[in-house]
Chains A and B, each alone.
Chain A
Amino acid sequence: MSPDLITPGELAPDFELEDINGNSIRLSSFRGSKPVVLAFLRGFM
């Protein structure tokens, strides 16, 4: 375990990726509206 893992209380690092339909999704766009569950997957293989 590295000492600088993300921890509760800190600001979630913002990012932007395209979803499977090509729409741009930015994490911070949910700010002020809804909680977000982030699920990091292993990969489908």
Chain B
Amino acid sequence: MRDQYSEFISHGAEIVAIGPDGTDSFQRYWENEKIPYIGLPDPEKKVSRLYKQEINIFKLGRMPLNCVIDVNGRIRYVHFGSNMTDIPDNETFLHVIDEINVSSN
């Protein structure tokens, strides 16, 4: 998502990443990797609990979870990753965003 962030912006969308790490490690990671989008440390895991991000002890931790939320604040797309690298490709997200943009115009 980092390398194609400008694509998301040109499609009128924003990316918000939420993680269990604290602010310090978030800042370090964001700077090292030059991540352009919003990073929200959630060390108390209150948002990941709210969204029921799966924690699978047999797969060593939290599974990726991705959602697309439309301009009315509704969930339009959800993907619960079934392993640590199970994250949809950018085209999938951009396609959903296009659909949202068409239906809200």
Contact = CB atoms under 8 A, between A and B. Distances in A.
21 contacts: A5-B52, A6-B67, A8-B78, A10-B74, A12-B69, A15-B50, A17-B42, A18-B40, A35-B69, A36-B15, A37-B14, A37-B15, A37-B93, A38-B51, A38-B67, A39-B15, A39-B64, A39-B65, A41-B64, A42-B62, A43-B20
Given A30-B69, A33-B71, A37-B15, A17 B77 contact: no
B61 interface: yes
Interface in B8-22: 8, 12-21
B26 A20 contact: yes
A23 B80 CA distance: 28
Interface in A1-20: 2, 4-15, 17-20
Interface residues of A, number: 36
Contacts of B29: 44
Given A6-B67, A13-B50, A44 B19 contact: yes
Contacts of B40: 17-20, 25
Contacts of A20: 23, 26-27, 30, 39-41
Interface of B: 1, 8, 12-21, 23, 25-27, 29-30, 38-42, 46-48, 50-53, 61-78, 80, 84, 87, 93, 96-97, 100-101
Interface of A: 2, 4-15, 17-20, 25, 27-28, 30-45
